[in-house]
Amino acid sequence: MSTTFNPSPIVPSEIENAAQSGELVIFVGAGISRLINCPSWDGFADRVLKQLVPAGIDYYELSQIKSISDPKKRLSIAKIVAQKKSITINYDSIFEVELKPDNVYGYLNEFNSSFVTTNYDKYLRPCSRENEQEESWRFYKQEHLLGVNLDRNGNVVHLHGCLDDPDNMVITTRDYLDHYSSKEVEVFLQDLFKRKTVLFLGYGLDEIEVLEYILRRGDASSKTEGERVRRFILQGFFNAEMALFELLQAYYQDSFTTSLIGFPKDYKNYDHQVEILASWSKKLKFGGLALVDEVAALEDEIRG
């Protein structure tokens, strides 16, 4: 067993095959948007709270709320205050960043697969759909969480909502509880893990709770002996964390039939993902879903 991570991880054959057959879904988390300087959960909560001063809360109240460690609780409080004081939160300004050359989305958008994201921002804009109306490939309403929306390359499904519809973004603790208890979300995730090969990006150790919740709600842990791996997580570790990586690798494989792919953070931290995705975007060959598979998926959707 190597004591260091491969700085250029090989694309698993399962991902290559899924890309060619039109069955690959890239699942994008907050860690990817942080590479272009979008805020972390803490930063997001603080920027929302700042918009409530002074019309909603004063600076003393701000300091008290900011002392709460859980950003989702801070966001829950902020939403309550905003509703009581009739304050409109400008979420667009919070996620507005200037994209630099060679940014991670520049390479990710070259992947001609379908996408699911828990991010609210709209930096996922697949090159294959750039000449089409956005409403034909970007989906963010709960009623649009349908398996058939994963069957066309270049479609983007926002699992937690989108900046275009801020009232329905999944932000607060209550939002999460309601969202993940809905039949639409459960069926969507189950269909995703049943029919697709999924590559998770941007889910580091600080997003592990969200990732595991998604895996469990999709019933990914119910597996049969010898089931092939169709879920992969690209995650960064320091070389000194090799023992932790091996433990987590065994845990994800045993609990979720999910393969953990590690890359080194020692030299470029999480930015190293940009190089990996730039390389993978050139190696992967993307095809479309066979017509017979599209018909079968539509029939399953109707029966469901």
Dump pLDDT digits (tens) for 227-284.
Answer: 667 899 999 999 999 999 999 999 999 989 999 999 999 999 999 999 999 999 999 9
Same domain, 29 and 53: no
pLDDT digits (tens, 9 = 90+) for 39-67: 999 999 999 999 999 999 999 999 999 99
Task: Please state the domain count of the chain.
Answer: 2
d(CA 82, CA 216): 32
124 shares its domain with 235: yes
Task: Based on the fold, state whether residues 70 and 200 are members of the same structural domain.
Answer: no
Is residue 281 a contact partner of residue 111, using CB atoms and an 8 Å limit?
yes
For the record, the structure tokens of 168 come out as 């329905």
Co-location of 31 and 46 in the same domain: no
For the chain, how long is the longest CA-to-CA vector? Answer: 62
CA–CA separation, 258 vs 271, rounded Å? Answer: 23
Chain segment 112-130, per-residue pLDDT in tens: 999 999 999 999 999 999 9
pLDDT of the residue at 221? 45
Q: Which residue, among 182, 247, 241, 246, has the nearest Cα to 217 in the 3D structure?
A: 182
Pairing mode, strands 114-117 and 197-201: unpaired
Q: What domain range includes position 84?
A: 41-94
Q: Do residues 167 and 297 both lie within one domain?
A: yes
Q: In this predicted structure, what is the pLDDT of residue 290?
A: 55
Residue 6 lies in a domain: no
- Asked if residue 251 and residue 135 are part of one domain, the reply reads yes
Give yes or no: residues 88 and 195 share one domain.
Answer: no
Beta bridge partners of 262: 235
Which residues lie below 8 Å from residue 44, measured CB to CB, with a gap of 6+?
Answer: 71, 75, 94
Determine, yes or no, domain membership for 183: yes
Flag whether pLDDT at 29 surpasses 70.
yes
* Cβ atoms of 94 and 39 closer than 8 Å: yes
Q: Do residues 222 and 244 share a domain? A: yes
Query: Domain check: are 58 and 163 in the same one?
Result: no
Q: What percent of the chain is modeled with pLDDT above 70?
A: 91
Could you count the other beta carbons within 10 Å of the beta carbon of residue 70? 12
Same domain, 208 and 253: yes
Residue listed under structure tokens 């309550």? 80
Spell out the residues 6+ positions from residue 279 whose beta carbon is closer than 8 angstroms to its own.
8
Q: Are residues 161 and 72 in the same domain?
A: no
Query: Quick one: 187 and 241 in the same domain?
Result: yes
